[in-house]
A and B are shown apart, each in its own frame.
Chain A
Amino acid sequence: MKDSLQKPNIPVYIALSVGGILMLFPFVWMILTAFKTNAEAMQIPPVIFPSEWKIDSFLQAMESLPFPKLYLNTALMIFFRILCAVVFSSMAGYAFAKIEFPLKKVLFGIVLLQMMLPSQIFIIPQYQMLAKLGMTETIFGLVFPGLVSAFGTFFLRQIYLGIPDEIGEAAQLDGCNRWKTFVSVMLPLTWSGIAALSVFTAVFAYGDLMWPLIVNTDVNMMTLSSGLSTLNGQFVTNFPVLMAGSVLAMLPMLILYMIFQRQFIEGVAMTGGK
């Protein structure tokens, strides 16, 4: 095409690079600060590189927060939220897209209603329910609001609507019942949708702050996000420790992002608009 033969577009490069530096700088500064001593970090005028790369701040951050547990809690919360969202939403998404049954529109209306309401409107009663079950300070508590996903149902229904009816009908003529058609014929056709939903669920569960802060107040049961916010109160002026904590908290997701960046960006673009 003509476009691909264009000469390198210098103004575009300059604009994107300036913006790119603005995007990257906070991360660079976070890492540089984490390796400085507190005195060095507060020097005026500021020094850019630490004179000696010290890991003391990382050790201090790990002493005040049980990072291995935070990693585990966050990973478990994300795993179960993805599992629930994918399994239940696939089933419901398929049924809403491909099966006719009475009251289908009303039931789907419930899904749409949940999507339109901000999650904070559910928080107080959800917390009370969880407290009544005696399930605060547990992994189940962290997963609780994500046991089912209205968004996932809506999203996967769209994916199933895009699959031609003939495919399922052929399987049914071969004697498969609805469940068998769903599991062995339809479900395997939706992997890209499932991947997108998983990325979406993971990113939002990982970033969520209010819910984990409310349900799990024991530092051993916190997520990376809520744990980090307690560090914030503990080391008000010790910035190298705060930065070291932030680096430790963002590392796992960052590594995953570096490996699966295509899936991340496409996943979010696919699920976009929520």
Chain B
Amino acid sequence: MNSKKRNRSDMFWGYLMVAPTILGLLILNIYPFIETFIRSLSKTKAFGKYEFQGLMNYQEMFTSEEFWKATWNSIWFCVLTVPVGIFLALLLAVLLNAKIAGRGIFRTIYFLPMVVAPAAVAMVWKWMFNAEFGIINSIFGTEIRWLTDPKIVLITCAVVSIWSSVGYDAILLLSGIQNISPYYYEAASLDGAGKVKQFFCITVPMVSPTLFVVIIMRLMASLRVYDLIYMMVDQANPALTDAQSLMYLFYRESFIAGNKGYGSAIVIWTVFLIAIVTALQFIGQKKWVNYEV
């Protein structure tokens, strides 16, 4: 085959093979992305129609107390879940990396919440955290209103969120840890460095590229948390506004109140927030992520 003919044939096959995916993405994602943006600048009318009106939705949003509370809740939820969750996941990854019998079983157990739908996970935790009959108050002899106390409800949700994700994050970190050469540890042992020192001076820096990816992923997931809080804190809960995340508010405004323009503004705001947090992480990574090895 001469090369010109071959290039033509390559072009044909190339386009043909990416066509379903690209067309699908254009219709299902790129167009909706643009439409959501336009919708956020529009008034919602009947039958899915909308009319351009400028920044009214944003104006309404930025003067709404419920909106700011939801923004704060989403950020607070990140603060509650990400540092503790990542630390526990890293610790767990190190433990799972120890050469012990039965670590396959432990791996299976810690990963378990991942394969159970968040809806079912939330259901059992809701029962365990029940203020009157829940097992948690019974064990500790407390009378804490875990799910209805405005100050506590989001902490409760954060606990469940960490419980669900720690095994998954640990598995990702574990594959990073397994790539660290054992010679580093041997050298450190010879120099008299203890396990704790080895953890901070070898494991953490060496696994930092994976750690960075896991942190970004966890931050993004936490900023757009929805299903867990939706299941744990129903819409009749008196502490709803104290637990409602941005995506929960988005769901209620768009699909229960039917105000899709306002809902679109909320989702655009959330993307903006995620972009800022991610950008900060990418700037911050230069200080601690180690790509040398």
Question: Which A residues lie at the B interface, using CB under 8 A?
Answer: 1-4, 6, 8-9, 12-13, 15-16, 19-20, 22-24, 26-27, 29-30, 33, 41-46, 88-89, 91-92, 94-96, 99-102, 104, 107, 110-111, 113-114, 117-118, 120-129, 131-132, 144-145, 147-150, 153, 177-179, 182, 203, 206-207, 209-210, 214, 224-226, 228-229, 232-233, 239, 242-243, 245-246, 249-250, 253-254, 256-257, 261, 264-265, 268-269, 272-274
Contacts and interface: CB of A to CB of B under 8 A. Distances in A.
A177 B124 contact: no
Contacts of B36: 121-122, 124-125
A246 B171 contact: no
A88 B21 contact: yes
B48 A177 contact: no
Contact of A95 (B17, B30, B92, B231): B17
Contacts, number: 273
Nearest to A5: B99
A117 B29 contact: yes
B15 interface: yes
A88 B17 CA distance: 8
B107 interface: yes
Given A26-B121, A88-B21, 13 more contacts: A16-B95, A42-B133, A43-B133, A91-B20, A95-B17, A114-B25, A125-B31, A147-B24, A150-B25, A178-B13, A209-B119, A229-B231, A233-B234
Contact of A250 (B48, B117, B175): B117
B129 to A, nearest CB: 11
Interface of B: 7, 9-11, 13-15, 17-18, 20-22, 24-33, 35-36, 39, 48, 92, 95-96, 98-101, 103, 106-121, 123-125, 127-128, 130, 132-133, 135, 138, 163, 167-168, 171-172, 174-175, 182, 186, 213-214, 217, 220, 224, 226-227, 230-231, 234, 247, 250-251, 254-255, 260, 263-264, 267-268, 270-271, 274
Given A91-B17, A110-B26, A250-B117, A272 B175 contact: yes
Given A206-B117, A229-B119, A250-B117, A26 B124 contact: yes
Given A94-B17, A124-B263, A178-B10, A23 B113 contact: yes
